Amino acid sequence: MKNKTSKMNSVLAGACCVSLLLATPILAKDQPDRAGQDIYRLYNQNSGEHFYTSSTDEKSALVTAGWVFEGVGWVAPEEGEAVYRLYNPNADGGDHYYTTNLDEANSLVSSGWLMDNAANPVFYSGGEIDLYSAYNPNAKSGCHNYTTSRAEQEALIGSGWLYDQVAWKVLGEGYVEADPTVYERFAGQEFVKNIWGFAGGPSAFLTINADGTYHEMNTRISMIPGINNDYSEFTGKLSDPIKVDEYTWKAHVISSDLAQPVNTIIPEGKNGKMIMVEPFTGLYAPMDFYIASPDKPIDQFPAFIQQQYAKHQDSIQPGYPNSYVLYTPDGMTFMVIVNQ
């Protein structure tokens, strides 16, 4: 079993359809390693649903489809009392439910639910640790949440969720896979984003240090009369990277300071339009971004990166064969590292 660095925790975003994105982790007590199976926890930002699976292939497919990987929800035994997963195709956005009660599962099937995994167990119950469940009566999707974190459970109940109960028992608490040393691999390198080409368009240069601090410099050297040169700087601290798969880590900004501000509204000289030139918003804004290692297969990247590589194949791939790729999940920002 992998090292456990922190306990699963969430923050609430909205009273009706609660969004449980992984935020500031609660440190978990050290647990002895024991035979078990990691149950991965993923979150759909569009439907508000959490999904739980023991399959690394299923986890990777969902991440590729845009789900957010939140770490390991709990550690399950490899055998014991069966846990079944059901799917409600009639719910807006779809919904899943998990139960150890086969009679309950069959009753839901008679009401229009579908049995996942060919009606076979998706994982098993067993152990000494409580896995809590709660129900959101106001949600159309993501109505049920499962967690080993008592703090998360109490936050849900306090915001209007129902049925504070133990769903079943598990071997180990939820935790986040983190690799703080990932920043050491590109200390001294720069992430570079150039919007309009190297002839003078706005560019963002980002240096990440081994300790997770960063320095971001944004420049625009105008080649067009009537457009001013611009410059800004940001400094900040990044979270410990969460390992998503063999090639990819997820991180987010935990602090940021504007070291050198700039007026980003620039008159565009040729046609009189106003252009908003913004620094790289994936870093100083409070949002997640992904870091992919150089050996990640191109067909495992999001579609927008594959399109950029295909469009600029001659300049990007030969120019940066050993470069990491940094991108935001919304597909708006894409940077590569230029080795020094």
Q: What are the backbone dihedrals phi and psi of residue 102, each rounded to the nearest 5 degrees, phi first?
A: -65, -35
pLDDT value of residue 22: 30
pLDDT value of residue 4: 36
Share of the chain above pLDDT 90, in %: 29
| 225 and 142 in a common domain | no
| 50 and 102 in a common domain | yes
Max mean pLDDT range (124-133, 272-281, 320-329): 124-133
| 313 and 274 in a common domain | yes
Are residues 244 and 231 in contact, defined by beta-carbon separation less than 8 angstroms?
no
| 42 and 153 in a common domain | yes
The SS3 call for residue 308 is helix
For residue 265, pLDDT beyond 70: no
In a domain, 10, yes or no: no
For residue 283, pLDDT beyond 60: no
In a domain, 66, yes or no: yes
Of 1-15, 108-122, 163-177, least confident by mean pLDDT is 1-15
| 304 and 184 in a common domain | yes
Task: Tell me the C-alpha distance between 122 and 128, whole Å.
Answer: 20
How many Cβ atoms sit within 10 Å of the Cβ of residue 55? 14
Task: Tell me the C-alpha distance between 55 and 153, whole Å.
Answer: 25
pLDDT value of residue 224: 60
| 184 and 131 in a common domain | no
In a domain, 28, yes or no: no
For residue 309, pLDDT beyond 90: no
Judging by beta carbons within 10 Å of its beta carbon (0-12, 13-18, 19+), is residue 161 exposed, middle or buried?
Answer: buried
| 276 and 203 in a common domain | yes
Whole domain around residue 201: which residue ranges? 180-338
Average pLDDT of the chain, as a whole number: 74
**What would the mean pLDDT of 220-239 be, rounded to a whole number?**
70
Per DSSP, 25 falls in state P
Locate tokens 């995994």: which residue? 117
- Rounded to 5, what percent of the chain is helix, strand, coil? 15, 35, 45
| 245 and 96 in a common domain | no
Q: What predicted TM-score, i.e. pTM, was given to this entire model?
A: 0.56
Question: Minimal CA–CA distance to 243: which of 332, 331, 178, 314?
Answer: 178
Task: Tell me the C-alpha distance between 64 and 290, whole Å.
Answer: 12
Per DSSP, 172 falls in state B
* Burial call 79-98: b when 16+ CB within 10 Å, e when fewer: ebebbbbbbbeebeebbbbb
For residue 129, pLDDT beyond 70: yes
| 160 and 192 in a common domain | no
Q: What are the backbone dihedrals phi and psi of residue 68, each rounded to the nearest 5 degrees, phi first?
A: -95, 125
Per DSSP, 10 falls in state B
For residue 12, pLDDT beyond 60: no
| 194 and 134 in a common domain | no
| 163 and 191 in a common domain | no
Number of domains in the chain: 2
User: Sorting pLDDT into bands at 50, 70 and 90, what band is 274?
Assistant: very low
The SS3 call for residue 140 is coil
More confidently predicted of 221 and 270: 221
In a domain, 262, yes or no: yes
Question: Minimal CA–CA distance to 146: which of 124, 157, 162, 131?
Answer: 131
pLDDT value of residue 53: 96
Backbone region of residue 163 per phi and psi (left: phi > 0; alpha: psi in -120 to 50; beta: other values): left
In a domain, 42, yes or no: yes
pLDDT value of residue 118: 92
Residue 16 tokens read as: 């009706």
Of 142-146, 303-307, 336-340, least confident by mean pLDDT is 336-340
| 226 and 310 in a common domain | yes
pLDDT value of residue 286: 55
* pLDDT tens per residue, range 82-100: 999 999 998 888 899 999 9
Backbone region of residue 267 per phi and psi (left: phi > 0; alpha: psi in -120 to 50; beta: other values): beta
Of 15-29, 136-150, 153-167, 215-229, least confident by mean pLDDT is 15-29
What's the CA angle centered on 75, arms 243 and 33, to 5 degrees? 85
**What would the mean pLDDT of 44-62 be, rounded to a whole number?**
89
